[in-house]
Amino acid sequence: MGSIWTQTASYDRWLLIEKAACKAWSDEGLIPKSDLEKLSKSTYDISILDEVLKDTKHPMTAFLKSMTAHLGGEGRWLHHGLTTSDVWDTATAMQLRDSAELLLSEVDRLTEVLYSTASKYKNTLMMGRTHGVHAEPITFGQKLAIWWDEMRRHRSRLVSAKDMISVGKLSGPVGTHATVPPSIENSVCKQLGLEVAPFSNQVIQRDRHAQFVTTLAQIAGSLEKFSTEIRGLQRTEIREVEEPFGVGQTGSSSMPHKRNPELTERICGLARLIRGHAVTSMENVALWHERDISHSSNERIILPDSCIALDYILDLMTHVISNMTVHVDRMKLNLEQSHGVVFSQGLLLSLVEAGSKREEAYKIVQRISQRALDENLELYDLALQESEVINALGVDRLQEIFDYNHYTRYINETFKNAGIR
């Protein structure tokens, strides 16, 4: 990913665009075939470019000078009818398109790992938590399947963002094609594998770039969500999941026992960085008139940074999911620490179905549930002591209610409907 965003990589794409434009002009009959043959073999000289740039303070004029320095009269055809943004924005589109291809491969890797891990733990019961408080049992596989499905949606978003940004523009200083006809623009974009921006002024419109960066920020936001959950489950009091911790690795300079979730914390930190870049990309949409340069400086940072950072944390997240330690015994222990109050809704609904008024049944179940938690008693035992409960349900039905299998009875159907074996 980093190689896509080096300065040399930008110049290499500028060179492709300039050569493609020369070919297009030659096909139109303007540039002689003999000149095109020489131009097609030309390149830029980085030493000349850097030296000229010191004086011109303009990368494009320095770039062109570094090419014409080694050409004869045919050099006059370079950049014919074009403006800097024709080359710059089209090259940036190529970089973003190529970055999206790499990001899609990383999204696919993570999605595949989530799929296999969700399938593995499909029936592994654990405590579901809302507001950080015990709610009802879920399975660890269900949690991962939710993440898998989320990444599938992100793939669709990224494909859309890739399509949106994969457009070139060679329409001249203010987009009127006054100096470069649409036929040249069409030819160059076709040679480069890009679509043509239907309308442009001096630049490709920045709503496209904003969609791209905000899509990256959305993906990063989900990675932060996954990481935050793993960090929470790694807390000593819970300790149901731990991120990979290598042999010889240390977690603290002062406390040898520490195994900190530093990988997932790193993902969270970089996700925030990308989210900040998304705000900047949206600020870039509103340029003055046909273009100003306020977007250019920050795009040199936010575009490569967002692509590189997301590429990195996608790879890191795949590593975490692939190699995390899942403490199934702790999941079971934490379930049992609820003293059975997780069955409170099942008990409530059963009483209602047996004929009890909902409000009265709710008060009974709430009262004995609170007592179970406060006095470390089992809800099942307390329910046995309630005449209203036993008269309505009986002992056999009560035993059926307090069965963890109740929470996994539809898991196979749900996974099958979603496409997970």
Residue showing tokens 């470069």: 180
369 is catalytic: no
Cβ–Cβ under 8 Å, residues 327 and 238: no
159 CB-contact burial (10 Å; exposed 0-12 / middle 13-18 / buried 19+) = middle
DSSP 406: G
Residues 333, 392 contacting (CB under 8 angstroms): no
Residues 261, 234 contacting (CB under 8 angstroms)? yes
* DSSP for 355-402, written as a single string: T--HHHHHHHHHHHHHHHHHHT--HHHHHHT-HHHHHHHHHHHHHHHS
Residue 255 to residue 224: CA distance in whole angstroms: 27
Task: Give the whole-angstrom CA distance, residue 250 versus residue 162.
Answer: 40
CB 20 within 8 A of CB 188: yes
Q: Which amino acid is at 46?
A: I
Judge whether 131 counts as a catalytic residue: yes
Count of other CB atoms within 10 angstroms of residue 293: 11
- Of the listed 40, 105, 156, 252, which one is catalytic? 252
Number of Cβ within 10 Å of residue 179's Cβ equals 16
Here the contacts of 276-282 (C-beta below 8 Å, separation 24 or greater) are: 277/213, 277/216, 277/217, 277/301, 277/302, 277/305, 277/306, 278/210, 278/213, 278/214, 278/216, 278/217, 278/306, 280/213, 281/206, 281/209, 281/210, 281/212, 281/213, 281/214, 282/210, 282/214
- Residue 280: in which H helix or E strand, if any? helix 262-283
For the record, the structure tokens of 105 come out as 């491969």
Catalytic residue, from 3, 131, 253, 297: name it.
131
Contact (CB, 8 A) for 206 and 284? yes
Q: Please list the active-site residues.
A: 131, 252
